[in-house]
Amino acid sequence: MINSDSTTSRVSTEISGEVDWWVEFDDTEEFEGEETLIVPVGQPENFTFTVIVPDWADSGNYQFNLKVTDYNNPGHVSSLTYNLADANSSVAQFEIITLIINNNTNLYIFNKSTMNCVGGLTLVGGKFEDETGMCTFYLADGEKVFINYKGKGTGGQGGSGTFIIVGGTGKYEKISGTGFSSRQNLKGKEGFAHSMNQMSGEYTY
């Protein structure tokens, strides 16, 4: 366990699925028999992983599941199911998205929050039909809200999809909701992805 006054905490990681041995979280350390990561308390954190596809793997679709669990509160879980399309030379890539949400309505719980997402897609012929991911909202009052999303679109242009609110922390532990999202790619600095994201929906807690 990490001291309650510490600026860091710990999450445990788990990978499952038909090709789980192709995948590993980056920078883990073993703690009490589990693979874990040290994370900052109250700060957005992006989790990365590496996929190594064997040279002998047949072309096709492969599925694996990623799960990150708060070591001190096992009820706080983020999970993602990812489909990897392998065509002998394909590469799986994840996009990390961070944005600031500002809303003029103070009653809106997401006002002045930040959102961090991790997700992935398979681009075929310039289009994708299988984007999936999970996001964590870091709210201004210190709590968190978790969503899963899926969508489709065109590479380099943008896409659209739906999302489900799957839970939160503190007073938002039982929050639920659904909605729609869209993303429009923008011109930006070379080597970086820039986009405008819009989300609308309903929630209750």
Q: Is the model's pLDDT at 36 over the cut of 70? A: yes
pLDDT higher for 130 or 95? Answer: 130
Per-residue pLDDT tens for 119-131? 777 777 677 888 8
The winner for highest mean pLDDT among 62-66, 76-80, 93-97, 164-168 is: 164-168
> Of 7-16, 29-38, 94-103, 107-116, which range is least confident?
94-103
Higher pLDDT, 108 or 5: 108
Residue 7 has pLDDT above 90, yes or no: no
**What would the pLDDT profile of 148-202 be if each residue is shown by its tens digit?**
999 998 877 888 999 999 999 999 999 999 999 998 887 766 656 677 788 888 9
Q: Is the model more confident about 150 or about 95?
A: 150
- What is the model's pTM? 0.54
Residue of 66, 82, 76, 81 whose CA lies nearest to 15: 66
Judge contact between 172 and 145, C-beta under 8 A. Answer: yes
User: Is 139 or 94 the better-scoring residue by pLDDT?
Assistant: 139
The fraction of the chain above a pLDDT of 70, given in percent, is 72
Predicted local confidence at residue 73, as pLDDT: 75
| Residue 37: pLDDT over 80 | yes
Distance CA 165, CA 179 (A): 9
